[in-house]
Amino acid sequence: VCKAHNVKTSICGQAGSREDMARKLVRLGIDSISVNADVARKISEMVASIEKAGERGVELGQGSSTSAGQQESGAESANQNEESEDIEERVLKELDEDYSPGLPEDKNKDVPPLSSGPV
């Protein structure tokens, strides 16, 4: 789902430190894995070997011959960007008045005073 909407994927925690889980995630095309220090070298070498063999993303049918992944065609990339923008527009529409991106005129709107008098 993330890849279909051009969303970067990553995992942090114990699961990514397991060799079997890391292998599966890389073959699914994950963008980033954070691992425990005691297995960092082992997982890094495993990821490098998968990428070198062109197996990154193969379980999603993507395939990859570089660590950065395959380059998309211009039309495919533009289509994914349009889909991402459509999703963003729908989310903003649903949020309606609840969304405040921190415009300067609203910067103190929800921030209570920190003291009751002059400092």
* pLDDT greater than 90 at residue 11: no
Burial (CB count within 10 angstroms: exposed 0-12, middle 13-18, buried 19+), residue 71: exposed
**pTM for the predicted model, two decimal places:** 0.47
Burial (CB count within 10 angstroms: exposed 0-12, middle 13-18, buried 19+), residue 53: exposed
User: Using one digit for the tens of pLDDT, what is the confidence trace for 31-70?
Assistant: 899 998 899 999 999 999 988 888 887 776 654 433 344 4
- Which of 22-26, 39-43, 101-105 is predicted least confidently? 101-105
CA distance 56 to 38: 24
Q: Which residues pair with 64 in a beta bridge?
A: 55
CA distance 32 to 17: 12
